[in-house]
């Protein structure tokens, strides 16, 4: 499955100064390396599931959504759906959930003079709980963490993005926003943010675009896909 990158060109004058990120499938995700690490810790069998099984290939081809695939895979492991799988991964192998390229991007934004960093999520707190984000070093030093459970609006409602812009003390036009859901990227575009659609199978392209827009040095290495293999094609020009 491949999602085209979507974005807008920066306006004339000063470029964007803030990066705003979704969490799921952008920074953290269920992946086969994480599931395999969990299985090794608890001593359970994967029952033939894996990155080469027929159902995974259907997911890669776009015939199953990530949530549908992982819900089915979770049940094959004796768990009550995708959310239960995600929570046991958080409890047992949390380090395996993070994309190193996403973490590196966040670190570079924090280190850059005059740049701000924030999170805008619909489900982060309801899926994992606020304590996880408060404790993880990857989320330390954020300028804003906006969750739908606290602001009362979910993406793609304009109010969600404007709440994040307010928390970042940055006008929407100065914010680069990354999300894996087309409707959420479109919502960001409507309020004036520079929206980039993230392909969960190759986040490298979106991260490279964000770095370029924010004036950051190129990142090293490629973002692994959810099967644990390196992502595919390199950066492409953003489209409106």
Contacts by 225-228, CB closer than 8 A, 24 or more apart: 225/31, 225/200, 225/201, 226/29, 226/30, 226/31, 226/32, 226/66, 226/200, 226/201, 227/31, 227/32, 227/51, 227/56, 227/60, 228/31, 228/32, 228/33, 228/51
- Pair 127, 192 in one domain: yes
- Pair 60, 149 in one domain: no
Whether residue 194 is contained in a domain is answered as yes
- Pair 110, 205 in one domain: yes
Phi-psi region of 152 (alpha: psi -120 to 50; beta: other; left: phi over 0): left
Q: Is the pTM of this model over 0.85?
A: yes
| pLDDT value, residue 230 | 54
**Can you say whether the dihedral through the CA atoms of 3, 154, 24, 177 is positive or negative?**
positive
Looking at the DSSP assignment, which residues form a beta bridge with residue 20?
118, 177
Report d(CA 234, CA 240) in Å as an integer: 19
| pLDDT value, residue 2 | 34
- Pair 82, 133 in one domain: no
- Pair 64, 125 in one domain: no
| pLDDT value, residue 199 | 93
| pLDDT value, residue 222 | 60
Whether residue 75 is contained in a domain is answered as yes
- Pair 71, 174 in one domain: no
- Pair 57, 111 in one domain: no
Q: Which of 179, 146, 148, 137 is nearest to 25 (CA)?
A: 179
Which ranges constitute the DSSP H helices of the chain? 32-42, 54-60, 66-76, 82-92, 100-111, 124-127, 130-135, 148-151, 158-168, 182-190, 204-214
Residue numbers of the chain with a pLDDT score lower than 70: 1-13, 220-222, 225, 228-240
Domain total in the chain: 2
What's the domain range around 202? 18-28+98-214
Q: Which of 12, 10, 5 is nearest to 239 (CA)?
A: 5
φ/ψ (deg, to 5) at 146? -110, 120
| CATH code assigned at 126 | 3.40.50.1000
- Pair 185, 71 in one domain: no
- Pair 56, 144 in one domain: no
Whether residue 225 is contained in a domain is answered as no
- Pair 38, 131 in one domain: no
Report d(CA 40, CA 37) in Å as an integer: 5
| pLDDT value, residue 229 | 61
DSSP assignment string, 17-30: -EEEE-SBTTTB--
Whether residue 232 is contained in a domain is answered as no
pLDDT tens digits for range 167-202? 999 999 999 999 999 999 999 999 999 999 999 989
CB-CB contact of 108 with 211 (8 Å): yes
| pLDDT value, residue 1 | 34
- Pair 39, 130 in one domain: no
Decide: helix, strand or coil at residue 78.
Answer: coil
């Amino acid at each position: 499955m491949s999602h085209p990158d979507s974005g807008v060109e920066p306006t004339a004058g000063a470029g964007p100064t803030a990066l705003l990120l979704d969490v799921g499938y952008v920074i953290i995700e269920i992946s086969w390396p994480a599931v395999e690490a969990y299985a090794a810790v608890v001593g359970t069998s994967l029952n033939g599931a894996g990155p080469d099984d027929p159902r995974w290939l259907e997911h890669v081809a776009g015939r199953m959504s990530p949530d549908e695939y992982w819900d089915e895979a979770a049940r094959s492991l004796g768990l009550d759906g995708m959310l239960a799988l995600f929570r046991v991964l958080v409890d047992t192998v949390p380090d395996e959930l993070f994309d190193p390229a996403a973490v590196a991007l966040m670190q570079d934004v924090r280190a850059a003079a005059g740049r701000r960093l924030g999170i805008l999520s619909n489900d982060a707190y309801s899926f994992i709980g606020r304590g996880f984000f408060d404790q993880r070093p990857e989320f330390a030093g954020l300028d804003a963490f906006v969750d739908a459970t606290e602001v009362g609006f979910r993406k793609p409602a304009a109010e969600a993005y404007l709440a994040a812009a307010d928390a970042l003390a940055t006008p929407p036009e100065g914010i680069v926003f990354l999300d894996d859901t087309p409707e959420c990227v479109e919502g960001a575009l409507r309020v004036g943010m520079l929206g980039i659609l993230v392909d969960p199978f190759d986040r490298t392209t979106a991260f490279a675009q964000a770095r370029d827009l924010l004036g950051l040095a190129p990142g090293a290495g490629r973002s692994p896909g959810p099967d644990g293999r390196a992502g595919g094609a390199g950066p492409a020009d953003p489209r409106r």
